[in-house]
Amino acid sequence: METLVKKAQKGNDKAFLILFQKYEQDIYRTAFIYVKNQSDALDVVQETAYRSFKSIKSLKDANYFKTWLLRIAINCSLDLLRKQTNIVQMKPELDDIVSGTVDEDVALEITMRDLIDGLKEYEKGVIILRFYEGLTIKEVSEALDIPLGTAKTILYRALNKLRKDLKGAGSYER
C-alpha cells in the first residue's frame, strides 16, 4: 500500500488507479448518502478521482490514504449540494401524495437515511465515517481535520439526536 502511494505521488498513473479502485465503492457509498441519487454520486466519485489525482503529492502519510480520499469525497459532495441549493427537487414518494392518488391515511416511514439526513452536515460526516465506513474515532477526527475531543462530542450528540428521533418516530406507530 505504502509503495503504491509513493509511486502515485511520483506520477505513476497505474499505481494511483489501483489505489483509487480499491476504495471506489466506499467513496460511492459515502457520496450517495450525501447526494441521495446515483447520478450525482457518480459525479462525486469522478470529481474525487480528479481532485485526489491532482493533489496526491500533498498526502503526508500513506496509512491515511482512505481517510484522505473520503474527506475529498465529502467535500465534493458538499460542493455539489451547495451548487444545487437553487434547485428544488421533490422526493419521488411525495409525487403520489401531491397528485392525490394515495389515501389520506399515509403510513409514516422513517428510515435510518431519513434520520441521518436530519443531522447537521458536520454531524452527518462523523456518523458516516464512523459507522458506514468503519473508521475509528481517531481516524474520523483526522479525516475531518478536527480535534479528537470535538469528534467524540459531535459523535455523542449526533447519536443522542438519532436515538431521540428514533424514539419520536415510534410514537406515530399504531
CA atoms of 28 and 73, how far apart (whole Å): 8
Q: What is the pLDDT of residues 15-33, one digit of tens each?
A: 889 999 999 999 999 899 8
pLDDT at 73: 92
- Could you give the 3-state DSSP secondary structure of residue 136? coil
CA atoms of 115 and 168, how far apart (whole Å): 11
Q: Which three cell numbers stand for residue 28?
A: 460511492
Q: What is the pLDDT of residues 36-70, one digit of tens each?
A: 889 999 999 999 999 999 998 888 888 888 889 99
pLDDT at 47: 94
Q: What is the pLDDT of residues 101-156, one digit of tens each?
A: 444 333 344 466 777 778 888 888 888 888 878 888 998 888 888 899 999 999 99
pLDDT at 131: 83
Q: Are 2-83 and 92-170 the same fold in CATH? A: no
DSSP, residue by residue, 76-105: HHHHHHHHTTT-----HHHHHHHHT-S-S-
pLDDT at 97: 45
Domain 2-83 has CATH 3.40.50.620: no
pLDDT at 82: 83
Q: What is the pLDDT of residues 83-105, one digit of tens each?
A: 876 555 555 554 544 444 444 33
What CATH code is assigned to 92-170? 1.10.10.10
Report pTM.
Answer: 0.63
pLDDT at 169: 60
Domain borders along the chain are 2-83, 92-170
Average pLDDT in the 151-174 region?
77
**Residue 67, number of CB atoms within 10 A of its CB:** 22
